[in-house]
Structure 1
Amino acid sequence: MDLSDLSRLPDSVLWPLHRDGLDPVAELSRHREQEPVSRLPLPFGVRAWLVTGHDEVKAVLSDVGAFSNDFANFAGSTGIGARHDPGGLGFADPPVHTRLRRLLAPEFTMRRLRRLTPRIQAIVDEVLDAIEPGDAPVDLWRAFALPIPSLTICELLGVPYDEREQFQRLATARFDLTGATGGSLAAISESLSYLSDLVDRQRRAPGDGLLGMLIREHGDAVDDRELTGLADGVLTGGLETTASMLALGALVIAREPRLKRLLTDTHPDDGVIGGGQATAQFVEELLRYLSVVQVAFPRCAVRDFQLGGVRIVAGDLVACSLSAANRAGVFGADPEVLDPTRPAHPHLAFGHGAHRCIGAELARMELHVAYPALVRRFPRLRLAVDPGQLQFRDASIVFGLQALPVLVT
């Protein structure tokens, strides 16, 4: 099996990645309520399961003893080949995962991240300054959603600004299963090649970013391949996902005037970075509702496991639908509806367990700053096309828009 085959997989496999507008397809809800663990008919003799139930998803994501993220196991199950292993936190098991996460974790505590707050606010202001008000439509995907996390992650890693467009292209291509690249393999290979060269440059002259810090503080205790994998995970994990959230959130805001009032009525004086408590509550509800990372990276069962009344056999692949789990009844009344006043309940938009997104707080900071700033700068923000004309990315692990044309005058 080659990853390029994913672009030709039948709809019977790709359907959990489809959407009906912003909503997961209704079939996911039916599965969650009636068959929370069901067979996913992968070709090539691969035995796989789709997990849609909230409790069942949490059980898989939290049990690193029964379900492995190690790319070697995934490669062995699918026949992809270990040579395509991108490395990094997402594709490692303890104790390797534990050691690598401990290297990164100090940089992603809220205390450390607060030093980026002025820079994030400046980035958002610079991006909004570059948007020219007028009668012509503006593509907020390109002009707003993509540059904010790109510049933030470049700032964090120490990536030269003049190379950020290359990363935007690679990060977008690697998550689109039906793109012209024939799957994500080509984009993964190209981005890893670039990052390997970046690590080599940082090894010779450590900068002030995350890579330079890791090299200065840990030296040869972390090798270049591990650094490349960590950088790849930080950049792609923080770029495409946050960009999709910013664009889709802007779409929701443009269509609902009540949300504009909520965001402009909040103030950054109650301890919440970038906005008020109402903004923070809105961001959490939007993260749950949109679930832009639709499916967690597939796990490989390393022992037999009973899950949702189904017997998972060692060697089986398990794919957890985060978009389905985040619409479960545990979130209160009408979980299929966006409710910015919904009582807080831990969602799964950033995953769960040992592999929960290490950059979750950084993403929250960007969203808290960007949404209120967008509405205050352009209070008459509205769609430039009929909602039915919007093009969403189809069959993509990271859900998002192809473009977001708006009027800002």
Structure 2
Amino acid sequence: MTQSRQLHLGAILEGVGTDQHAWRDPALPSNASISIDWYIEQARLAEAAKFDLVFIVDSPFITPDTAPHFLNRLEPLTLLSALAVATSHIGLVGTLTTSYWEPYNVARQFGSLDHISKGRAGWNVVTTGLEGAAGNYGRDAHFPHAERYARAREFVDVVQGLWDSYEDDAFVADKAAGVFLEKTKQHRLDHKGQFFSVAGPLALSRSPQGQPVIFQAGDSTQGRDLGAAIADGTFTIAADLATGQAYYADLKARAAALGRNPDHIKVLPGLSPILADSDAEAQAIVRAQHEALDFGKLLVQLGRAFNYHDFAQYDPDAPFPDVSGLSLNSYKGHAERIVATARAEGLSLRQTAWRFGQWRSPFVGSPETVADEIERWFVGRAADGFNLRVTRPGEFALFRERVVPILQKRGLFRTDYAGQTLRSHLGVPVPPHRHAQPALAEAAE
């Protein structure tokens, strides 16, 4: 059966893992998070399965209790540049914060990756959730939440302006006439805004996909507004179908209200399936993983949403503690959801940690069952696709070899790439060049 919509799949390459136990998998190299060989192998496997993209997460702050992968990992842009020359089709997406970088640097880095990969680069725009990051960049305090998002919007505007420094045909390279550049097609930016002053131009032409694809992952009100305004795709977390549908409808409505085509912003929730030959075996794996969890580590993971607040200081069986004295200036949307749920349901700290200190996958069962659930979310408009967490080799193999063929047989997922760029994989348009538009409009008239 042919679908009018195309399911999209990303692979989050998480090395030794962001949960408690993945790093102990005998088949997983202990240095996976800093092994370029491991990343190249996973990217090539994802490409062979026709995934849209690989995704490298990042954040600029850690503690001794941070998850294994976050403690020791490669910088995204360096890593993705290596993957660009080791692959040929798959998209290459990396996280980079707008709070602790400069637009000119970011425009140059992602623009270069887009050229190196021949049009496969994507930037996951984040404002940095962890307040502790401020201390790594010479600041006494993290930017306030609202300021972070205002800064991010201007930051992206500047970067996209720099990516349009040259019109597509600016470099004539006429050797006979001795003309390399058509100077009228180079454009300064001369931006002066609330947060940035950037002259330009950027010393880099546009790539085959025009500009790198923009992703965004914020879930607060300001985060959703930013995503609706700037993003070609959003990375999100949804615990169940109803939550996914609510986010999907809300984000698409926000995009439409801004005059955007909602189909041009792809919603990709995280996917952590528990797969086995049968549903019963998969449920047994879930029970075993649950029993092996360390409650102390659950408290650490719960605290991450509150800038690694130490929840071990409280009575675990007392009601969830009053955190109103905390700024909630880290992962604001997630922290507020935790507080609201704990209060509404009268949860103890222990119950809250078990609820939010671990990820409970709604995709559990045989390959057929998991494929059914993926289809249900896709057809039910809870997702345009999914971002699969990749760490344990056996789990990734099961998904590629047994779930993907089912999705392909049903006509939900591609059997081969139709184009070369990330934009072509996702079905999002090449942005028109801002300086060429007046001339094009005049020619059309």
Q: TM-score over 0.5 for the alignment?
A: no
**Larger radius of gyration between Structure 1 and Structure 2:** 2
TM-score normalised according to structure 2 size: 0.24
